[in-house]
């Protein structure tokens, strides 16, 4: 996402308001929905202050029940770039925020996604989704390899 900041650099404007929906440009995401970017960019004491809110819904699979769900990524990006040190960001009086937005989104994707914090997951015996249907499986079933340990607890030899 490239922002023209010539009006800021020439002091014609004090603040640039950003309100855009841009197509998803992140190939690592399973998503066809646009990325919503809102915020402000301004210059203060020879530094560019960026304050953005980025929202995006991505399709994910729950780590417990393996159901698909939409996950909202809602992040606040606050950056402060010294104009003298970061000339690479400023090319032809524009500011390229593409990589900043991409990195911020990728860093906020959960490693273990859950459809709900109270997700019950799958039954370890029959594989039934316990959020939809409670199964009647015997939860006290013991792995036959560990049955010797159960005998020790009961005092049997």
Note the pLDDT tens digit of each residue in 2-34: 777 766 666 666 788 889 888 878 777 777 788
| 120-157 residue pLDDT tens | 998 888 888 888 888 887 666 677 777 777 777 666 55
Residue 49 three-state SS: strand
Instruction: Report residue 153: phi and psi, to 5°.
Output: -70, -35
Tokens standing for 109?
Answer: 């994707």
What's the Cα-to-Cα distance from 97 to each of 53, 73, 78, 79, 123, rounded to whole Å?
13, 18, 12, 11, 45
Q: Model-level pTM greater than 0.75?
A: no
* Confidence (pLDDT) at 74: 94
pLDDT in tens, 21-68: 888 787 777 777 888 999 998 888 778 888 999 999 988 999 999 999
φ/ψ bin of 140: left (φ > 0), alpha (ψ from -120 to 50), beta (otherwise) = alpha
């Amino acid at each position: 996402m490239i922002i023209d900041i010539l009006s800021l650099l020439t002091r014609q404007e004090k603040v640039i308001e950003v309100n855009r929906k841009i197509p998803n440009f992140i190939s690592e995401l399973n998503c066809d929905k646009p990325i919503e970017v809102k915020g402000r960019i301004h210059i203060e004491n020879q530094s560019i202050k960026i304050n953005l809110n980025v929202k995006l819904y991505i399709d994910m699979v729950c780590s417990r029940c393996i159901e698909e769900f939409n996950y909202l990524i809602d992040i606040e990006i606050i950056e402060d770039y010294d104009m003298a040190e970061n000339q690479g960001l400023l090319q032809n009086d524009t500011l390229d925020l593409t990589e900043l937005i991409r990195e911020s989104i990728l860093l906020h994707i959960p490693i273990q996604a859950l459809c709900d914090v109270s997700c019950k997951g799958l039954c370890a015996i029959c594989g039934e989704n316990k959020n939809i249907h409670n199964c009647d499986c015997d939860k006290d079933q013991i792995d036959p390899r560990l049955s010797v340990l159960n005998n020790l607890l009961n005092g049997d030899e």
